Amino acid sequence: MSVEIVPGSGSSMSSGSSGTARVESSTGVPDEAYEVDAIYEPDPELVAAVEGFDDRFLDRELSWLRFNQRVLELAEDESQPLLERARFLAIFTSNLDEFFMVRVAGLKRRIAAGLAVRAASGLMPREVLEQIWTTTRELSSRQAGLFRDQIVPALLDHDIELVRWDDLDRDEQKACKRLFRDRIFPVLTPLAVDPAHPFPYISGLSLNLAVVIRDPQSDKEHFARVKVPQTFDRFIPLSAAAGAGKGARFVPLEDVIGAHLKRLFPGMEVLEAHTFRVTRNEDLEVEEDDAENLLAALEKELLRRRFGPPVRLEVEESISDAVLELLVSELDISEEEVFRLPGPLDLRGLHGIADLSREELKYPAFVPTTHHRLAEVESSAPVDVFKAARRHDVLLHHPYDSFATSVQRFIEQAAADPHVLAIKQTLYRTSGDSPIIDALIDAADAGKQVLVIVEIKARFDEQANIRWARKLEQAGCHVVYGIVGLKTHCKLALVVRDEGESGSGGGIRRYTHIGTGNYNSKTARMYEDLGLITTDEAIGEDVAHLFNNLSGWSRNASYEHLLVAPDSVRSGLVEQIHAEIAHHAAGRPSGVRLKANSVVDEAIIDALYLASQEGVKVELLVRGICALRPGVPGLSENITVRSILGRFLEHSRIAWFTGGGEPTAWIGSADMMHRNLDRRVEVLVRLPHPDSIASVGAMLDTAFDDDTRAWVLGSDGSWTSNDGSVHLQESLIEGQRRRRTSS
């Protein structure tokens, strides 16, 4: 039996939406022995009881900062391999940069525009900003202290030295002098500030030297800025052995430049030199309704982004008050936005250190394997993905299952197969040298119909997406930029194949891939994602309708096996949560499990609160932001929230419902956030086969096991590590190895 939810029209708990649970057999025929019509209509008094908790939502911005704190805690964890700890410090830096560029910039913009409305958490934007400044200052100082007091000494113990200029011996300084003269000096451009030279524009996230010089003839002091070029390694290797990682010594690039400033200002006295770094508002604003050509409008906006207002100034703690005052004045930045930190600034460069060939200081080597349904059998030729998919659905779990031998092979074989008539695909982010792009171009060259829905507004990948969108157009692909006002974030691929006479089991067949992650062969090795390859006719029909909606004028919003935002993801999930309440009230097994990057949407959270109040067990696995408060008496005693971070970025989205004993599972691209549910085209697909549902269930069982290491969210918004002995990702890697050994 299976429980099917018949979607209604409600979009939130308080709107009076209802869920109808129709119990059917696996063949779709009603089971007379267990036929129920379980309709749950929320009691207005219970709804009011939930909404009576004014502080039931945690602040999303502060919750994100706690997520990045968990990343920092991974860097602090001495059980992690040393170079991986260094990498987590770099990731922490990149995360915080993006937070300021987008979230803090957005808060400041709303305040400046007079749109400072109270958030769902009850906080005003100014209150959130003040807490952000306090928290990020503490976290940044904690990161700098960890780097200086633990990571640098630990690296030294393994013959990897990160030193400053004064620590170099004479031979090393001579080598750096030659490097500066031959390679660095020709690239540098000192910019003076005087009546004839206005204060220069400081690009976002660039590292700079603020230099004070004096003219010995006039005795006048001047200010100059020197940008540290990004074309060189952030940490300069000092020995020939550095490439192998043994006995390697590194010095920051800005130290080498700072030691040779006299070459840039001949005849002048260099009095001071301090590093600083500016973060700017880099969120895009494109008014699509007013843009006849979205591509051209976006390209123009990308140019404007470079000149966004500053939102943070980082300076080395040794900076003089006079130089800092000048920077603050010229950049028009407030004192709260100034971060004085121990050097070196910008620890993103630690990625280069983490990439050293010191395998004993990294996670054990991991090689994804081909999914067992797609694995070669007594042949060196790749498995025919179409034949395998006709035999059985293929549920992929990346990076444990290879992306290259599954999804990539699926598209490549479709491009080369003379029986394939058409390929339709959405692309949100992909690598610049993507095999997927090449395969789509090959398909168009072969005369196949190729439709590509490109999201050129994918944040921080806009420029790259514009380039390969034009490349696809030039190859003859039909390129569409989605629906005005919505980002196309869903992960879909549809292959239409002519398999001969329909009477002999052939005819036109659709092969569908629906995933939780991007069609990016590089990130697929680091991101944890799920994907389904299926020939299920109903799913193929739904996906075909959706592509028509995206490329044409159709607005059919009715789908049998998909939940599609902005039309039905929120209402569909709320209704299924309500159906679990009905199951629980009838004495049948019930429960809700959600896995997502973020859980913020108030309507879904309120539905989960109501389920908890009615006795339904609710378990959330959230990588990043969670605005739900678990464990609040009278509200959420039956809700637990966990977070798992590790070597792979947990990225899949799953909605699991116990369904009276016949569970259903949905996977897709949507997080539980307003932007995903209201302003994006997102897709969740109901897994059609019991084996796939069981596989997802087994993974969730391990994730929610008390012995699995995770952070647990408290009702006050704090996260605490449970120090479990089982590491989810390591256990999945081990399971993959066992399958490979036994095959």
For residue 267, give every residue at least 6 positions away whose Cβ sits within 8 Å of its Cβ, in sequence order, or none. Answer: 216
Nearest partner of 405 among 365, 442, 375, judged by Cα: 375
Nearest partner of 154 among 348, 318, 345, 358, judged by Cα: 358
Query: What's the CA gap between 712 and 83, in Å, rounded?
Result: 26
Tokens coding 103: 């979230």
State which amino acid sits at residue 114: G
Phi, psi of 688 (to 5 degrees): -90, -15
CB 72 within 8 A of CB 139: yes
C-alpha triplet 501, 507, 508: angle, nearest 5°: 150
| Residue recorded with tokens 């680091």 | 526
Tokens coding 254: 């800005």
Does 651 qualify as catalytic in the annotation? no
CA 574 distance to own-chain centroid: 25
C-alpha triplet 348, 340, 330: angle, nearest 5°: 95
Q: What is the DSSP letter of 240?
A: G
For residue 22, give every residue at least 6 positions away whose Cβ sits within 8 Å of its Cβ, in sequence order, or none. Answer: 3, 4, 6, 30, 37
The DSSP annotation for 421-442 comes to EEEEEEESS--TT-HHHHHHHH
For residue 112, give every residue at least 6 positions away whose Cβ sits within 8 Å of its Cβ, in sequence order, or none. Answer: none
Q: Which helix (H) or strand (E) holds 196?
A: none
Query: What's the CA gap between 414 and 188, in Å, rounded?
Result: 49
Nearest partner of 520 among 456, 445, 426, 617, judged by Cα: 426
Query: What's the CA gap between 468 and 462, in Å, rounded?
Result: 10
Q: What is the DSSP letter of 672?
A: B
In three-state secondary structure terms, 540 is: helix
C-alpha triplet 694, 698, 704: angle, nearest 5°: 140
Q: Which helix (H) or strand (E) holds 306?
A: none
Query: What's the CA gap between 32 and 79, in Å, rounded?
Result: 56
Nearest partner of 563 among 652, 675, 697, 654, judged by Cα: 654
Nearest partner of 453 among 431, 472, 476, 433, judged by Cα: 472
In three-state secondary structure terms, 646 is: coil
Phi, psi of 424 (to 5 degrees): -125, 135
Which of 489, 561, 583, 651 is catalytic? The answer is: 489
Q: Which helix (H) or strand (E) holds 91?
A: helix 82-98
The catalytic residues are: 489
